[in-house]
Each structure stands twice: as C-alpha cells, then as structure tokens.
Amino acid sequence: MSITLLTLRYMDIGILFLVLGCARHPLGLSDAQWKAMTPSEQLEARAEQAKIDRVKKQIEAERREKERQEREREKARITDLYANAKYGDVVECSVSGGIVDFHPGWLKYHEAAFTLVPGEFTQVKVEAQGGSRTQEFWAGMNVRQTGVQLCDRDPRDYSRADCANLAGTSADFAYGTERSISLKEVFNGVFLRCAYRPTNAAEHRRVERFHRKAAKKHAKEQRDARRDPRYVARSVECVIAGGSGSFNRRWKPIQDIAFTLLPGEKRNLSMASRVGRDRTTFWAELDRAGRRIEICGYRRFGDSAATCGVIAGLSRDFERGFRKSLSVQRTFKEANIRCVYAPADQVRKERRGVR
C-alpha cells in the first residue's frame, strides 16, 4: 500500500518516520542483502524468520509458566509455614515514629504492623495522620532468619532496590530487637521492632517475664547510679535556649529546655514552640565519662544516618559551666546550650535518696 500526500496530511510525520525507521527485514538482513535476493529466497527467509519467532514465543511462554509455578510453590510454602509454624518460624514487626515521604511532604503516619516467615517479602502500606495519603514499602526476611529488610521496592525484581537491615541473633529475636532506620525518599527515623511470635501461652509468659526482669534491672541500675557519688558528681545539667526548632519541617522559636543526664544515660526530651502548641521530641545521651553529650533528632541504635550534634568538653569546663552554639540538622538551628556538673548539694540529696 503506497503512502499518498493525502495520508501524510492526516498522519504525524514523526510517527511515520519512527515506523519506517524501525522496520526490519527477516533474519536481520540489510537492505542491500534483501534487494539482492530473489522472491523465492525472500519467501524462504520470511518462513525461517517465522519459525524462529515461534520458537522464541514458545521459550517465553515456558519461562512465564515456570515463573508462575515457582510463585505458586513459594505461596504454598509460605501458607504451610504459617499453618504449621513452630516457635521461631514467624516474626512479628511494627514500624512507628519518624516521618514518611508521602510525595509531596514528609508527614507523621499511623503505626503499622506485619508478620514475616523466612524467605517472604510483602508490601506494607502506611497512612498519613489526618489525611488519606498512603505510602508503600517492601518488607522481607532472609531464609536464614538472621535479619529483616525494609526496601523502597521489591528487591527480587530490582537489583538496585534501596534497603535497610535489622540484623540479630536468635536470642535477639526471641526477646525483641529494634533500631531506627531511614530510607531515601521513603521514611526517616522510623523505629522498627521485631520479635518471634510466641506460639502458645507459655511462650507469651516467658517473654513477658523477660521484659519485666529487664525493666527491673534497668530501674535498679538507674537507682544505683543516682546513689553512687562517683556517678552523681558527674551528672550534667543543661539548658537549651534561643534559636529555632523544626516542627514538621517548619522552623519556629523554641521555649527554653532544661534537663539532667547521668553518665551513660539516654533520654527522650520534649521541645515546644513559643508560638502555638507545636511539640516534638529529640534524644540526648551522656557518655560514661561524663564529658560528651550527643543531641539527636531521632532515637537511634547505632544508626549512622541519624542526625546528631555533639557537645564535648574537659572536666574543668563542666565544673565551671560552658556555653556552645547548637545546630542539628532538621532539629535545632542557631540555638545555645549551656552545661555544668550538678552542684554539691544535689550530690548530697541524691546520696540520701531524694528524688
């Protein structure tokens, strides 16, 4: 069929050139080779090309069928694991805290929970607080049961999927392990906690006893630290004043913040704006030597991606008190912090057990 000027008048010339440019002769022959062939040879070439195309389609259909059967087998394996799960086969996880990118805008979200078995990958959906926007990410557990992954896309289909890992031993997952993680363009400072799902009432009671004992041990350590003059003498009192704080990505003047830290203590502190009722939280940690304070925008457990600022000084600096500027990405801007060791009368009160 020939192309007339009337046809060109109603056809996009760009599309026409594209169609003509993509045309190929059978068996990948060039124009010169194709023109040099007799009609019978061209017919044989087309027949050979059709045969090759049929073989390719058959191979592609077999590949798709094999993938379908593998998906069915994997689905049956996961269903069987859930139906006949033993202790340690199922991991329960939850995500909370931090902020999520709902495209556009980083917002707080409703907490979400999900379960995993070894080798399973599932899509998790979270909803923004006070809105109808949603964000999705992928969660999975490796077959060796040594870690949980959160990814921006399915890592089985995309080799360049961005993932963050929560790794742990069997003992870690038996009593619960946790960390703060961040993924570019997905979430920041999200708190992921995972534990084996107890299979019966006895397992529930055992895990509850462990957590009660751990809480009592931590409380006793804190009481002992407060009563020990070697530690109380190095307790640090700080005040953060001036500057601005980040409230849902908006910088606003902040109210003064006063707090006390024991050596080795981590505290979740509250920050309020001077105007309005905006509030947010940050974390402060004092090292065991009592000379280095770390201020972080999100709770972290070895998370190198967390945004933190460090205030450090000599013992004599803390004795007489010193002031430094404080700027922490996405938390504080141009604020001032003043820190000093707790006074001697405070030490005597702590030694008498006064709170």
DSSP 184: T
pLDDT band, very low/low/confident/very high, at 124 (cuts 50, 70, 90): very high
Full-model pTM: 0.47
Most confident stretch, 87-96, 230-239, 343-352: 87-96
In this predicted model, which residue has the larger pLDDT, 10 or 283? 283
> Rounded to whole angstroms, how far apart are CA atoms 22 and 2?
18
pLDDT of 353 over the 80 cut:
no
pLDDT of residue 241: 86
End-to-end Cα spacing for the chain: 96
135-183 pLDDT, tens digit per residue, is 999 999 887 767 898 998 888 877 678 888 888 888 788 888 888 888 8
Beta bridge partners of 9: none
Tell me what percent of the residues of the chain surpass a pLDDT of 70.
81
> Rounded to whole angstroms, how far apart are CA atoms 13 and 5?
11
pLDDT of 278 over the 80 cut:
yes
Q: What is the Cβ-side half-sphere exposure of residue 73, based on CA atoms within 13 angstroms?
A: 6
Instruction: Give the dihedral of Cα atoms 45, 51, 57, 59; nearest 10 deg.
Output: -120
pLDDT of 231 over the 80 cut:
no
Angle at 31 between CA 30 and CA 36, to 5 degrees: 100
Mean pLDDT of the chain: 79
Q: Which residues contact 243 (CB under 8 A, 6 or more apart)?
A: 253, 254, 326, 327, 332, 333, 334, 335, 336
Cβ(27)–Cβ(34) below 8 Å: no
Q: Per the structure block, which two tokens stand in for 226?
A: 């407060």
pLDDT of residue 162: 85
The mean per-residue pLDDT over the stretch 113-127 comes to 90
pLDDT of residue 5: 37
Q: Per the structure block, which two tokens stand in for 169?
A: 């031993």
The mean per-residue pLDDT over the stretch 259-283 comes to 86
pLDDT of residue 326: 87
86-105 pLDDT, tens digit per residue, is 888 899 999 988 888 888 78
Q: Which residues contact 262 (CB under 8 A, 6 or more apart)?
A: 222, 225, 226, 231, 232, 235, 286
The tokens 């190095």 sit on which residue?
234
The mean per-residue pLDDT over the stretch 103-119 comes to 87
pLDDT of residue 67: 86
User: DSSP characters for 66-128?
Assistant: HHHHHHHHHHHHHHHHHHTPPTTS-EEEEEESSEEE-SS-EE-B--EEEEE-TT-EEEEEEEB
Tell me what percent of the residues of the chain surpass a pLDDT of 90.
8
- Cα dihedral 62, 65, 71, 76 sign: negative
pLDDT of residue 226: 57
pLDDT of 232 over the 70 cut:
no
